Structure 1
């Protein structure tokens, strides 16, 4: 398969730069035997008694930093933007992170950067990546980052507008628990307490897994042939409790609904050939057409980038021609794409 096989035309005006006024106000494209235009608020009507939602309870850290490189001898300060992308082993007890920093060419090892009072030293530079050691102990870093950082909005939003205070709430699911992601599991952004109450009244259960979303989710596929693409690695946990909930749902004839591609990738990583088993570790699974998807029955997800690994995943899940037709319909009908956009509910392609 070629990367070009997963291209499609997407008008720029359909890229959602802001969240909807209400989380459940997003549109929902239901894709199965046909294509139906629905609303996220209609999920209690669509799902069945005995179904189970599998949610990713990861919490997005305020990984976007703005600051100033201290002047070198005889020089002037330089404005710096950094997005933390990977937690590294502490250096002498101090927090240590890999980042994408701009302008990277203006930074070198030993430079000091003041991120709104949070001080850091450049410890390494490699291409577009810059390692930073912060003047803060590992155990107190989260509080320091909360004060200095902002939500790490996706590049296609950050290039168009500034990060706002309301993004702290809206670029976070209401069920986020485990801090560690540098991007949101965006299918979960549509849920509210009221919607959960309605689903519970319908008999729809829920359980949680944890996959810490990395910045690699936004990286383009550069290889022409998919067999040459190297997938990014992310850390995840599937607990005994989640395994039991999934097994009980299946035993009673209910359906397992993966909420987001992050939940789906983790469930498939935990599949032992017969069932979803407990899992703790890193996964770099690359799901695409031709792969089996035994761990779930439905997938709730947002609309994804052309030629992205996530569009390849949904093509594998529901069928390439089905998804191309669904996305063409979504474009014609003016659905909103990407992280703050609308959603679709996909039935697994049994073929």
Structure 2
């Protein structure tokens, strides 16, 4: 995250940038889906604070209007998809804004290769080319029973929305946060997507495929930071959590605190690239707290269990402090 602009400059640049981007064709439909989803759960008695918007996966930056080439990142959306499951298990309604064809809650456990490898292990007879005899899949079903029960119980509290390009992501994020602010203002915004830092301005895009008969020179512009307008204007009452990924561990806390000071949100989850699945730091305005997968008692398989437990506790404290102020 670049912090070169002041918060006010960032807000102005972000709003101008948003207006410069072509709107996705289904933006109105997505807004209506989110509105209906939130309204349905509020009408059925879910506390209007028990919502979480999770962003997940990476954004793509096109190099042509008729896109053949693009700039992308390696994010598979593991943290976002896993965290969505954990929030659902704890009673939240989840809006899952994710990169298309990255990991999704529950479905991530049924990757194609894993399914085929498992079925291949079940073959006990292949005497007939047209027929296969398979062992009963009881062991597999036993292993998956908890996951299947969790999915059945929570699938109606999950709304998934896919994006690919940076422009689509920003427009969706804007509309979703505005709707959430209207119907569930004290929600958690869990911004785990790997958003592009650089882009090619629309006016500089080639209309057709870039010729490959010589070297290519690209001039990329900084993507304005949307955290400030999100916190101050789009969803000012929400519990906003951002992420900070670094390869240099000595920079984690410094950059996390700089982001908190600049944007005024509640929490930064800081992680180092090499250890991101095993260790994170939760940085707020007062302190840092380490969560380490190996030190959990009882043991857990995924660090997101501990992260979400901590966030639910902090969110409840946030809600209580708001009630105390209103009283």
Structure (1 or 2) with the larger CA radius of gyration:
2
Higher strand share: 1
